Amino acid sequence: MPHVRDNLPVIPDDRANDLHGLEVAEEADLVIFMAGNQFMVMSDLMAAFRARHPHIRHIFYETLPPKIELRQILAGGAVFRGRVIAVPPDVYTTVSPDPVAQLAAADRVDPDRCFVYLHNRLALMVQAGNPRGIRSVHDLGRPGVRISQPNPQHEDIAEHILRMYRQAGGEDLVQRIMTEKQQSGETRLTTVHHRETPQRLLNGRVDVGPVWATEVAHALREGHPLEGVVVGDALDQHRAVHYVACPLRTGRHPENARAFLDFLRSDTARRIYTDFGFTPAAS
């Protein structure tokens, strides 16, 4: 779990695969903090962006949970394996309005320059064959069902998941999953769910994890022995999930930030996101 060293948040040592281009971070021409659940898209997305803007040579981007990235921005850096990463991002994306409000209050972003570019929905990830017979959100409250649960302190997805729990079973279900089952060890919190939940399921350490539907699709595409349980339109939060992109006032490369933000709204980027199961926002 992230902690603080010398007033800077600490990125867990095992998260190197969410720090891309770290070796050029200090001289980067563009720094992007992406909401981490887009990790599966980034290789194709950045290749297409580089092809369109070959002069933007050195790019450093993170695919960590937005709340961890938010703490980095507000603190002026983070520590990873003893190294201070102090480069300010030019672009930040999130799936919750709260980080944007916090950054605006700190005079780091102008909300009027932020925009919605994507949508997603929730699903439940389980082992192939669904051995515990998870059929609905209510089943997460069953005794003995072990849950990989995103931590509300670190992950924006958690607020959407908690809303799903409330809509499915009221505060009783929230209390059951987030308090009672956490105390018993059946609810196990994550720091970076898009890495931890699939691995816990593959290792047999949990039975189910609420995730983005795109993460289920990615696991299937990769051939992992996992599958998804659809929670239904009434609960999957698709109407409430809005990915927001913002240019940072403190970024060092405003022109390159504008180029990337324009690219996010391009037909090319929209096709890439669609291929990975995301829903691009209306033009």
Res 6: pLDDT: 66
Closest CA to 18 of 69, 52, 77: 69
Whether this model's pTM surpasses 0.85: yes
Decide: 108 and 250 in contact? Cβ < 8 Å: yes
4-118+243-280 is a CATH 1.10.260.40 domain: no
Res 190: pLDDT: 97
Alpha helices per DSSP H over the chain = 42-52, 66-75, 97-105, 157-175, 181-184, 193-202, 213-221, 254-264, 267-275
Res 1: pLDDT: 40
Domain boundaries, the chain: 4-118+243-280, 121-229
Both tokens of 64, joined, read 């960590």
Note down pLDDT in tens along the chain; length 283 residues.
455 556 899 999 999 999 999 999 999 999 999 999 999 999 999 999 999 999 999 999 999 999 999 999 999 999 999 999 999 999 999 999 999 999 999 999 999 999 999 999 999 999 999 999 999 999 999 999 999 999 999 999 999 999 999 999 999 999 999 999 999 999 999 999 999 999 999 999 999 999 999 999 999 999 999 999 999 999 999 999 999 999 999 999 999 999 999 999 999 999 999 999 999 999 7
Res 283: pLDDT: 74
Closest CA to 114 of 279, 248, 250: 248
Superfamily of domain 121-229: Periplasmic binding protein-like II (3.40.190.10)
Closest CA to 15 of 25, 1, 28, 5: 1
Res 218: pLDDT: 98
Decide: 95 and 156 in contact? Cβ < 8 Å: yes
CB atoms within 10 A of CB 105: 10
